[in-house]
Amino acid sequence: MRSSLNGTARSGDRVRAVRSPSLVPSDSAGLGFGSRIVLGDCIQVLDALPPASVDLIFADPPYNLQLQRALHRPDDSLVDAVDDDWDQFESFAAYDAFTRAWLKAAKRVLKPDGALWVIGSYHNIFRVGTALQDLGFWVLNDVIWRKANPMPNFRGRRFTNAHETLIWASRDAKARYTFNYEALKAGNEDVQVRSDWFIPLCTGDERLKDGAGRKLHPTQKPEALIARVLLSSSKTGDVILDPFFGSGTTGAVAKRLGRRFIGIERDPAYAAAAEARIALIDPLPEASLANFTTAREAPRVAFSSLVERGLVTAGTVLTDDKRRYVATVRPDGSLMSGPQVGSIHKIGALVQGAQACNGWTFWHVNDNNGRLSPIDALRARIREEMGVL
């Protein structure tokens, strides 16, 4: 990542992936249906894309590290740091101008309910955050990527730089952005996912190497980090844009998770390596990628539907989980408790003396073994038949 910078693609640069910025569906070089790598300057390519055509942007821009000289370890060995031309800017003003230019171009291609993630270090993330807000983006979270295995501070003059910061922002304050809250919580043992993520650096077989066994790209991000971004804030089939594509981590993860992607990269060597990497990726089984449907999003099922299908018969006595209250099911799907007749919710509230009640989880029915189960489990069976997970 972080190499599609202010420059233009040289004539003769070739990548087997589709270079047109159009969103015409394709499966070029095995990248996946509707996905492509575009070789060229990120701002120029962004300006050529159709407006409001992208669901989510993940950006890993240059950090402008301002390295003054080579870094050495205590044993005098050279640290493989970022010293590439694409990370060099003559001043903060030049960096700020570049940042505002690509963010403005990125905002144009975002759908009205789209969102953007951008990652950076202390060198640049505060400047990027200011530009985001000045351009009308609405900051949703700052997320700390805490590295499990950070590079030590060899001189011992500062704290070890053990984290990077991600800013998650919607296109504007009114955007109805995607956030897969319930799915994330379910995967986190029913606990809300926090804004500090403990994830190792990219190492081992995941790290791309050149022919001499050296890092192919100095700032390759771990797939686990990008996966959490995409799983939290996009849906299957969404178009993910990475304007600083580099080694193609965003594309690899997007393809595996059933998303489409557009990767913009100016360096033909990086683009070719990313293309080869992504072509080897197999998407996960479609069933495992089905979008998580919350109870609020699921289609409405009336209690009378359970009666009509014979899942609950008229005359059945319902009770709460502790068998303190009872109500009888009527043929029309209403409940009767004493002289009172009403919905599962109204009668549930009435017997408790409460203002409101979720009748689906309050009322239970005896199964064939005499055990109580909530009537919500019967509603789930109907939703299953409807094809809703």
How far apart are alpha carbons 169 and 76 in whole angstroms?
Answer: 42
pLDDT confidence of residue 149: 80
End-to-end CA distance of the chain: 36
CA distances from 244 to 7, 43, 110, 222, 249 (A): 12, 10, 16, 15, 10
Strand partners, 167: 118, 142
CA distances from 387 to 142, 299, 309 (A): 36, 10, 17
Yes or no: is domain 36-288 CATH 3.40.50.150? yes
pLDDT confidence of residue 66: 57
CA 38 to chain centre: 22
Is residue 243 a contact partner of residue 102, using CB atoms and an 8 Å limit? yes
Tens digits of residue pLDDT in 66-123: 544 444 444 454 445 445 564 567 788 989 999 999 999 999 999 999 999 999 999 8
pLDDT confidence of residue 207: 84
pLDDT confidence of residue 73: 44
Helix (H) or strand (E) holding 279: helix 268-279
How far apart are alpha carbons 239 and 241 in whole angstroms?
Answer: 7
Per-residue pLDDT of the chain (389 residues; tens, 9 = 90+): 555 444 333 333 334 444 444 443 445 557 888 899 999 999 999 999 999 999 999 999 998 865 444 444 444 544 454 455 645 677 889 899 999 999 999 999 999 999 999 999 998 999 999 999 999 999 999 999 999 888 777 667 888 889 999 999 999 999 999 999 989 998 898 899 999 999 988 888 888 788 777 777 777 899 999 999 999 999 999 999 999 999 999 999 999 999 999 999 999 998 999 999 999 999 999 888 877 766 666 778 899 999 999 999 999 999 999 999 999 999 999 999 999 999 999 999 999 999 999 999 999 998 877 789 999 999 988 887 776 44
DSSP state letters, 103-170: HHHHHHHEEEEEEEEEEE-TTTHHHHHHHHHHTT-EEEEEEEEEESSPPP-TTSSS----EEEEEEEE
pLDDT confidence of residue 47: 96
Q: Which two tokens stand for residue 169?
A: 């922002």
What pTM was estimated for this model as a whole? 0.73
Helix (H) or strand (E) holding 251: helix 249-256
pLDDT confidence of residue 291: 76
Query: What is the domain partition of the chain in residue ranges?
Result: 36-288, 303-386
How far apart are alpha carbons 199 and 205 in whole angstroms?
Answer: 16
Q: Which two tokens stand for residue 366?
A: 């005896």
